Amino acid sequence: MAKKSLSHLYSCESLSAQPSAIRDICALVSRPEIRSLAGGWPDTAEFPLDDIGRIFEELMAEHGGQMFQYGSTEGLRDLRLVLARRMRNEGMLKAKADNLLITHGSAQGMQLAAQVFVDRGDVVMAGLPTYFGGPGAVRARGGKVVGVPVNRQGLDTTALRQQVQRLKVAGESVKGVYVIPNFQNPTGVTLSLKRRRRLIQLADEFDLIIFEDDPYGELRFEGRRQPSLKSLDDKGRVIHLRSLSKTFVPGMRLGWVYAAKGAVRKMVVAKQFADAATNTPSQYILLQFIRQGLLDRQIQRNISYYRTKRDFMLEQMKNHFPAAVTWNKPLGGFFIFVYLPPGLDAADLFRRAVERKVAFVTGQSFFVDGGGRNTFRLSYAQASNKDMQFAIRVLGKLIKQSLPRRNIKKAA
């Protein structure tokens, strides 16, 4: 007798959830012969394994089994004190331990924030394009995501105001804005100071929450650091999400949320029923890593390492891509976003590239409106120079084969 499907018992939230396109692609190209420019993961060669091993042994000798005991849902208080001090040094002068919640990465922070603020049918605005983790958390709550164009100055705040006004006139409940202000995934662009200030004004004008997702802000290669949206916020509207996956190690699954006390308390309650507490040994290790001055050293090492990799990929693209293709020069982070001429399909390019053992991420998955068919994302974070050189040369040839002959000219 055939087993009966349980699909009719699935919750609305589970039916709304969508799998990560990145995970699907990475599963497809996990074969060792594939030259992958897909995953935005840090390079394992840069992980501070010796320091982590030494710290772990020291902690075992000092704390023993206590390090493996249940911890508080909020996270280790000493770690929250240290992180709050770092945030004050970044200009978030009101940051205190009681305003922080240690999470299993910034992804959990966004999931908890959506659980606290997003009701079924609520609208959250997001960039066109943007990383799909934020929209995914909103949709998992039954919320809707409406896109706003992103250009070289970041999220277009003029278009944002027009969209919010239109939606409110139509009777929609617009609850907030999801934004990655620094070296945005996937475009690599940084939100300008003018637009940061304007976004804060619009949040006040339309009574919105701002979900500020900032996993890459500390990986600035050049230029002046911009103030966080949270540092410009005097009304408690910004939920500031941080990750240590790009600056420390991703496998520890550590991040934090900085928000108004009332919002943090609500997220703590939500987390109690999700996983009770964040991994305790990881928190102890991170605390000592910071206290010993190793995190700042690791960040500077990462900046130098990934800047060199960015420059190498940009040079390869200049050498091999035709002039009809355009892309950004990110000032930090992991990503270069590529625009093919209108009419070309990045999904078709991907299929042909995989046949030649090269992979990347098509751009359409980053557009909540289904657009971006002629775009794709490249990551220089993990690939070796040899693999980057091979992959970019292959992609350049495939793109040239797709162009009318009059458009085939090497990039200037």
Residue 342: CATH number of its domain: 3.90.1150.10
Residues 281 and 381 in one domain: no
- Among 251, 267, 295, the domain boundary falls at 295
Confidence band of 324 (pLDDT split at 50, 70, 90): very high
DSSP string across 66-125: GGGS---TT--HHHHHHHHHHHHHTT-TT--GGGEEEESHHHHHHHHHHHHH--TT-EEE
Percent of the chain topping pLDDT 90: 90
- Among 249, 268, 295, the domain boundary falls at 295
The pLDDT of residue 24 is 64
Residues 125 and 162 in one domain: yes
Residues 234 and 313 in one domain: no
Confidence band of 22 (pLDDT split at 50, 70, 90): low
The Cα 248–Cα 112 span in angstroms is 22
The single-letter DSSP state of residue 220 is B
- Residue pair 206/164 in contact (Cβ under 8 Å)? The answer is yes
Whether residue 215 has pLDDT greater than 80 = yes
The pLDDT of residue 405 is 57
Examine residue 351 and state whether it is found in any structural domain, yes or no: yes
- Among 277, 295, 313, the domain boundary falls at 295
Question: For residue range 263-286, what is the model confidence (pLDDT) as tens digits?
Answer: 999 999 999 999 999 999 999 999
Average pLDDT score, the chain: 94
Query: Which is it for strands 375-379 and 335-339: parallel, antiparallel or unpaired?
Result: antiparallel
Q: Which of 294, 19, 285 is nearest to 140 (CA)?
A: 19
CA distances to 87, 120, 365, 371 from 130, rounded to whole Å, are 25, 22, 9, 12
Whether residue 229 has pLDDT greater than 50 = yes
Residues 116 and 103 in one domain: yes
The pLDDT of residue 23 is 65
Residues 93 and 188 in one domain: yes
The single-letter DSSP state of residue 332 is B
Whether residue 193 has pLDDT greater than 70 = yes
The pLDDT of residue 4 is 77
Taking CB atoms within 8 Å and a gap of at least 24, the contacts of 37-40 are 37/358, 37/359, 37/360, 37/378, 37/379, 37/380, 37/383, 37/387, 37/388, 37/391, 37/392, 38/359, 38/360, 38/361, 38/379, 39/379, 39/381, 39/382, 40/185, 40/334, 40/335, 40/377, 40/379, 40/381
Whether residue 128 has pLDDT greater than 50 = yes
| Residue 226 tokens, joined | 């911009």
Question: For residue range 82-110, what is the model confidence (pLDDT) as tens digits?
Answer: 999 999 999 999 999 999 999 999 999 99
Residues 257 and 376 in one domain: no
Residues 39 and 26 in one domain: yes
Other beta carbons less than 10 A from residue 216's beta carbon: 25
Expressed as residue numbers, the domain containing 305 is 10-47+296-402
Whether residue 127 has pLDDT greater than 60 = yes
Q: In the predicted model, what is the mean pLDDT of residues 383-401? A: 97
36-45, 82-91, 182-191, 403-412: the lowest-pLDDT one: 403-412
Residues 308 and 235 in one domain: no
| Residue 85 tokens, joined | 């001090």
Examine residue 184 and state whether it is found in any structural domain, yes or no: yes
Confidence band of 28 (pLDDT split at 50, 70, 90): low
Q: In the predicted model, what is the mean pLDDT of residues 244-252? A: 97
The pLDDT of residue 294 is 98
Residues 56 and 38 in one domain: no
The pLDDT of residue 25 is 66
Examine residue 411 and state whether it is found in any structural domain, yes or no: no
The pLDDT of residue 298 is 98
Whether residue 12 has pLDDT greater than 90 = no
Q: In the predicted model, what is the mean pLDDT of residues 110-130? A: 98
Confidence band of 331 (pLDDT split at 50, 70, 90): very high
Examine residue 337 and state whether it is found in any structural domain, yes or no: yes
The pLDDT of residue 347 is 96
Examine residue 4 and state whether it is found in any structural domain, yes or no: no
| Residue 3 tokens, joined | 């087993």
Residues 84 and 212 in one domain: yes
Examine residue 408 and state whether it is found in any structural domain, yes or no: no
Residues 96 and 223 in one domain: yes
Examine residue 181 and state whether it is found in any structural domain, yes or no: yes
The pLDDT of residue 406 is 46
Counting the structural domains of the chain, the total is: 2
The pLDDT of residue 412 is 46
Residues 241 and 356 in one domain: no
Q: In the predicted model, what is the mean pLDDT of residues 137-148? A: 96
Examine residue 224 and state whether it is found in any structural domain, yes or no: yes
Confidence band of 27 (pLDDT split at 50, 70, 90): low
